[in-house]
Amino acid sequence: MYQRFSEIYDIFMADVDYGAWAAKLLSIFEKNGHTGSLRILDAACGTGNITIPLAKAGHSVTGCDLSESMLDIASQKARKAGLKIPFVHQSMTELSIHGKQNIVNSSCDGVNYLRSASEVCGFFGSAFDILQSGGLIVFDVSSRYKLENILWGNTFGEASERAAYLWKNAYDPASNLLEMELTCFLSADGKSYERFFERHIQRAHTSDELLGWMTACGFEEVAVFDFNTMRAPKRDSERLLFTGRKPTERQNG
């Protein structure tokens, strides 16, 4: 998962406004009562495209990811930005960090890569454990509609001076799994290209599944929104955002 593709990931995600994405998350944190300097774990952080702007906003952020190559790039980007961000090689299904966190966040399909209820609940359960009382979990997924109707059966491609890729998608309605085959080309000199392959698998979780698993893992006030509008999702919403709160500990007496 995200091995050599990490080398070209940022090239083809350059049109994504990660600053606006991070600003949306900060607004969500604030609306849920989390203000001031926050302790945030950014799970499945990739190359740090959300981690870094959250840190620039003055928060104490740790990034974790299962891909060491993605973490290497994230670390380089953070150093270039003059930021001291810890990046940890860690599965999002077994989160472990020193000190309780105000926020656990996972952006851009991290949860889609968890293929089973046990894996998703591993994320929710370990996130619950490291959150402080009243802490917030926030994550987004590509919706089942997107995987079934936008990606299934389609091939996408893009090319730049340094790299190119072809991306084929096959969806299995029985398992709700989308298999993505990536053929990538990377050039060091703009003249010759090295070809390599990667295979990624995502699961199309339903909103009911995710909300149910969040509740089963102890979260309260669980909610789902259309990512773009932050209103109730529609049938054709392509990205969904979820929030949940760890219950506040009640004081005796």
The residue whose two tokens read 């969806």 is 171
Radius of gyration of the chain from its Cα atoms, rounded to whole angstroms: 18
pLDDT at site 250: 64
Beta strands in the chain (DSSP E): 39-43, 60-65, 87-89, 101-106, 131-142, 155-159, 163-172, 177-186, 194-203, 220-226, 239-245
d(CA 184, CA 93): 28
Q: Which fold has domain 146-203?
A: N-terminal domain of TfIIb (2.20.25)
pLDDT at site 187: 83
CB atoms < 10 A from the CB of 233, how many?
18
Where residue 109 falls among pLDDT bands split at 50, 70, 90? Answer: very high
| Average pLDDT value for the chain | 93
pLDDT at site 175: 96
pLDDT at site 12: 78
pLDDT digits (tens, 9 = 90+) for 181-236: 989 898 877 778 889 899 999 999 999 999 999 999 999 999 999 999 999 999 99
Using the predicted structure, report yes or no on whether residue 113 has a pLDDT greater than 80: yes
Where residue 3 falls among pLDDT bands split at 50, 70, 90? Answer: low
Name the pTM for this structure.
0.93
Tell whether the torsion through CA atoms of 76, 77, 80 and 86 is positive or negative: negative
Average of per-residue pLDDT across 122-142: 98
Interior/surface letters 94-129, b for 16+ CB within 10 angstroms, e for the rest: ebebeeebbbbbbbbbbbbbbeeeebbbbbbbbbbe
Domain spans of the chain, in order of start: 6-142+206-245, 146-203
Backbone conformation region of residue 243, classed left if phi is above 0, alpha if psi is from -120 to 50, else beta: beta
Where residue 14 falls among pLDDT bands split at 50, 70, 90? Answer: confident
* Assigned superfamily of 6-142+206-245: Vaccinia Virus protein VP39 (3.40.50.150)
pLDDT > 70 fraction of the chain, expressed in percent and rounded: 97
Tokens of 153: 């059966």
Using the predicted structure, report yes or no on whether residue 60 has a pLDDT greater than 70: yes
| Helix, strand or coil, per DSSP, at residue 71 | helix
Average of per-residue pLDDT across 163-183: 93
Where residue 10 falls among pLDDT bands split at 50, 70, 90? Answer: confident
Average of per-residue pLDDT across 158-176: 90
